[in-house]
Structure 1
Amino acid sequence: MSQTFSDRTLVISGASRGIGLAIALGAAGRGANVVLLAKTAEPHPKLPGTVHTAVAEIEAAGGKGVAVVGDVRNEDDVARTIDTAVEHFGGVDICVNNASAIATEPTERLTAKKFDLMMDINVRGTFLLTKAALPHLRKSPDPHVLTLAPPLNMNPHWLGAHPSYTLSKYGMTLLSLGWAAEYADAGIGFACLWPQTYIATAAVANLADGDKLAARSRAPQIMGDAAVEIFSRPAAEVNGKCFIDSEVLAEAGVTDLSRYGGGGDPKLDIFVDKS
């Protein structure tokens, strides 16, 4: 895992903090240019980081960063993000669909507003960013589109746990698999990445039992390292595949995951069955 990204430009949605920022920093550590689209221009009262602090971290890590304040649901904001990547760095080599909304209330308690929010950010946002990036990805020598979505697990347990959220995340996966087939001759690597365990993000820490969950969660860096490993592979090798972070790293020879925390019994993430 030593390939340089100094000539590659990554566009990512929702990377002010957490997993998205870890992916951006992983690429920046290899010298990548990073353009991030996020709404957080001012500090959130409960969540750390803004698009501007993220850019500062990206540049401290060795990359070049540009922030675009906007909403992945807004077609104009998405177009502005891609235009920014082209204007500053000459194109787009990697597109990461990271922005996501989650609401796991039972169907009878889930509001239509939350349902629409998940569909708009998770599915529509993934569609808009990928569509806008495609003309430039076609020009890249090794283009990748990575979507933060799970393998399609049809276990009734997961289908019944939170059907609306599952629909939105599986929708992201289906878009990725569909694009892998639709653009099979374009040389673009469409892939999905999902964590094996809970990830210690601010969103997890702010849950009612956040302290206990955080202790059994791995650090976001595991997703950043797994994403970088995927970007390091030829696009054709990853096209149409759905990856789990720990499995990606194991294939790269990283079998000791203790560096990422989570203790001796990290909590499995949703959509992941016990072995």
Structure 2
Amino acid sequence: MTSQHALRDRTMVVSGASRGIGLAIAVAAAAQGANVVLLAKTAEPHPKLKGTVHTAVADIEAAGGKAVAIVGDVRKEEDVQRAVDTAVERFGGIDMCVNNASAIGTEPTEHLSAKKYDLMQEINCRGTFLLTKAALPHLRKSENGHILTISPPINMNPYWLGAHPAYTLSKYGMSLLTLGFAAEYAEAGVAANCLWPETYIATSAVANMQDGENLLSSSRSPEIMADAAVAILSSPAKATSGKCYIDADVLTAAGVTDLSRYGGGDEPQRDLFLDA
């Protein structure tokens, strides 16, 4: 696994990290010595969602890192730029850009509102583009610049295309952008990779799904994604780019043979976009 303090004094900008996978990644990076600037909208407690940007900062600092919260919307250029400027002013640069913010809507096409369609495309695709674009001038200056996007391998199986076309489009859009960044900035030495969970992850998004309680019991904890993310972000950028990683595969390659500590039971629920 990753050596202790592998990310010491490196700076991460991450979107949507007030809870769930984004927060877990931020906390795991902080435990390795990273500075974290998180951009998220939740400034006040939400009746159905645990955590705010401020509680996230407390969690990150408790793990051993330094953190700054930016209350803002990843869809808005000015908010994204404010997060990037804060990272540079406070910590001197940016080494890691993590595109985590995402919206989901899996209703059938005839029942999916145009508003929700737009929300998914704007947060997932536009947000990934804006945050990466703003961070790139600073990633270029980093000795080990990484872009990491929480999005799936592009699986053209008609099942996944037809299951929820609008959501699939938005998540594949995130992956296509990231693979494009990998090619576009290969000569600059900036890595760009995707990371996706092998199984459902116990987050509020899963809890709010139909049959959420049962799904949670067969979901792994966000820490599996966090540990996989830290392993990727700690690797040499020039040797690790243009890939769509699966969390369990990353950890297995790093020598972790027992994933039971991440929960999910004997048969964890396989995640979307992954064939059996």
User: Which range, TM-score by smaller chain?
Assistant: over 0.9
- Find the aligned partners of 1:204 and 1:164 in 2 and give their Cα distance: 18
Which SS does the other structure have where 1:139 is aligned? coil
List alignment gaps of at least 5 residues for structure 2.
none
Q: CA shift at 1:245, angstroms?
A: 0.2
Q: Which residue of 2 aligns with 1:43?
A: 45
- Find the aligned partners of 2:207 and 2:171 in 1 and give their Cα distance: 22
Count how many residue pairs are aligned between Structure 1 and Structure 2: 274
Root-mean-square deviation over aligned CA pairs = 0.7
Q: CA shift at 1:132, angstroms?
A: 0.1
Q: Which residue of 2 aligns with 1:113?
A: 115
> Identity of aligned pairs, percent?
72
- Find the aligned partners of 1:172 and 1:58 in 2 and give their Cα distance: 26
Q: Does 1:187 pair with 2:189? A: yes
Q: Which residue of 1 aligns with 2:263?
A: 261
- Find the aligned partners of 1:210 and 1:159 in 2 and give their Cα distance: 23
- Code of the residue aligned with 2:203 in structure 1: it is T
Q: CA shift at 1:3, angstroms?
A: 4.6
Q: Which residue of 2 aligns with 1:60?
A: 62
Q: CA shift at 1:208, angstroms?
A: 3.1
Q: What whole-Å deviation, never above 9, does each CA across 1:158-205 have from its counterpart, x for those lacking one?
A: 011001100000000000111111111010010000000000012212
Q: Does 1:270 pair with 2:272? A: yes
| Contact 2:43-2:52 at 8 Å conserved across structures | yes
| 1:16-165 equivalence runs, <5 A | 16-165=18-167
TM-score when normalising by structure 2 = 0.98
- Find the aligned partners of 2:103 and 2:212 in 1 and give their Cα distance: 18
| 1:196-215 equivalence runs, <5 A | 196-215=198-217
- Code of the residue aligned with 1:121 in structure 2: it is I
- Code of the residue aligned with 1:150 in structure 2: it is P
List alignment gaps of at least 5 residues for structure 1.
none
Q: What whole-Å deviation, never above 9, does each CA across 1:57-84 have from its counterpart, x for those lacking one?
A: 0000000000000000000000000000
Q: Which residue of 1 aligns with 2:3?
A: 2
- Find the aligned partners of 1:266 and 1:43 in 2 and give their Cα distance: 30
| Contact 1:96-1:147 at 8 Å conserved across structures | yes
- Find the aligned partners of 1:206 and 1:116 in 2 and give their Cα distance: 21
Q: Which residue of 1 aligns with 2:226?
A: 224
- Find the aligned partners of 1:169 and 1:236 in 2 and give their Cα distance: 25
TM-score when normalising by structure 1 = 0.98
| Contact 1:123-1:171 at 8 Å conserved across structures | yes
| Contact 1:151-1:173 at 8 Å conserved across structures | yes
- Code of the residue aligned with 1:138 in structure 2: it is R
Q: What whole-Å deviation, never above 9, does each CA across 1:41-71 have from its counterpart, x for those lacking one?
A: 0001001000000000000000000000000
Which SS does the other structure have where 2:111 is aligned? coil
Q: What whole-Å deviation, never above 9, does each CA across 1:104-141 have from its counterpart, x for those lacking one?
A: 11111111101100000000000000000000001100
- Find the aligned partners of 1:242 and 1:207 in 2 and give their Cα distance: 25
- Code of the residue aligned with 2:3 in structure 1: it is S
